Amino acid sequence: MPESSSTEHAQEKAPDKAPEKELHIAVALDGAGWHPAAWRDLPDARTELFKARYWAGLVAEAERGLLDFVTFEDAFRLQSTLLDGLDGRGDQVRGRFDAVLLAARLAPLTSRIGLVPTAVTTHTEPFHVAIGIASLDHVSGGRAGWRPQVSARSTDAANIGRRDLPELTLEDVADLANLPQRVEDLFDEAADAVEVARRLWDSWEDDAEIRDVATGRFIDRDKLHYIDFTGPTFSVKGPSITPRSPQGQPVVAALAHDVVPYRLAARAADVVFVTPHGTEHVRSIITAVREAEAYVGREGRPLQVFADLVVFLDDEPGAAAARKTRLDELDGAELFSDALVFTGTPEELADLLLEWRAAGIEGYRLRPGALPYDLEGITRGLAPALRSRGAFRSAYEANTLRGLLGLPRPASRYATPEVVAS
């Protein structure tokens, strides 16, 4: 029976929603995949992971699969199994590229898929990050996004050396709804960093460049704007040095696990990645996200809520679970993740994604357990399975990431609307 019961269920429960709306599918790329032992199955992993061609192959596969976007992880520390501090282990992937530059390297090799790098807000200059993402938008012809990330760990802070942060302990993160004030402050700073970026992205109006030979003016300076941002940890004068980019506002997406990050997302982001572990959990998370939006007084479009899942996919029933078990044994521990770990067939995953869609999820950021294997499971197994149920695109419908996500291109906040003559 091609029509899934969950879709009917959705129509019953939420008649005002459009259950036939297609899902957005993104893939989170990191190392050899999200299982720490996945590199063992990747030929020449130690050298390949640090070559452009490896990443080019992955993003090309994602684009062939018509996915909405890929994300790239980043951090100012060597990977570790410890919450804060190094573990000295050599049996897992260690070492990682700057995500914005990696995304830029892949932009000319692709034409439709969105590129969403992580950039930490805690230790970077908001001005640099803003022009980096705007430049990614220029080199990709309007396919840039940004995943701002907070870094509360002392390890990262000691590497950068600009600010001291105490060691992050299990106690600090035991109750995500009640983070220590110093951590909450970092989220506030992240919201400020995104606000600065958004103002800088708007600080050149679209028609600022005039090339007017008669007056000798290259720009109309009245269409460039100081942003005059002042906050507790930085102030930025503006305007940007980079002209307004193809999307105007690149897409901002934040991963969030509880109320403080939900509020950051509600203040700053277009898309929020959440980590539900079941359908009821989806509903409670969406309620919490909407409450966060009301709390911060979000205006305009509500957040698009994407669910994160770690996925192991095989066509043969049971094979994915067996594969994951084998990787767990190689690593010496069961895979731990903030997101639900799914093992199964592409059809089974499609069932789950549609069930959660009925509960309010609009898209997914899937974290392949092993690369490129589980990415191909997504592009060649899951995507056709969803398509056959009318839940995924059969061709790219837009040239920009905003377009793929159904977000219009906004006018600059500084542009004065045309006065209509009476």
Subset of residues 234 to 293 that bind other proteins, contact rule: CB under 8 A: 234-239, 241-243
Number of residues that bind other proteins (CB under 8 A): 78
Assess 411 for contact with other proteins (CB under 8 A). Answer: no
Site for other proteins in 199-238 (CB under 8 A): 204, 209, 211, 213, 215-221, 224, 233-238
Report the SS3 class of residue 28.
strand
Which is closer to other proteins, CB of 161 or CB of 300? 161
Residue 271 · residue 306 · CB < 8 Å: yes
Q: What are phi and psi of 236, to 5 degrees?
A: -135, 130
> Alpha-carbon torsion 185, 340, 70, 20, what sign?
negative
Q: Provide the CB-side half-sphere exposure for 404 (13 A, CA).
A: 31
3-class DSSP state of 218: strand
User: Closest CB to other proteins among 92 and 412?
Assistant: 92
What is the rounded distance in angstroms from the CA atom of residue 364 to the CA atom of residue 134?
25
Among the listed residues 57, 141, 384, 390, the single contact to other proteins using CB under 8 A = 141
Closer to other proteins by CB, 14 or 210: give it.
210
Q: Are 72 and 149 in contact (CB under 8 A)?
A: no
Give the number of other Cβ atoms within 10 Å of residue 264's Cβ.
26
Token pair, residue 319, equals 């094979």
Stretch that binds other proteins, among 65-73, 93-101, 279-287, 289-297 (CB under 8 A): 93-101
Nearer to other proteins, 50 or 295 (CB): 50
Least Cβ distance, residue 229 to other proteins (angstroms): 10
Chain residues 144-163 in contact with other proteins, contact rule CB under 8 A: 155, 158-162
Of the listed pieces 76-84, 176-184, 266-274, 412-420, which binds other proteins according to CB under 8 A? 76-84
Give the whole-angstrom CA distance, residue 120 versus residue 147: 8
Which residue from 106, 116, 186, 378 is in contact with other proteins, where contact means CB under 8 A? 106
Gyration radius of the chain's alpha carbons? 22
Q: Is residue 89 within the footprint of other proteins (CB under 8 A)?
A: yes
**Site residues for other proteins, window 36-55 (CB under 8 A)?**
39, 43-47, 50-52
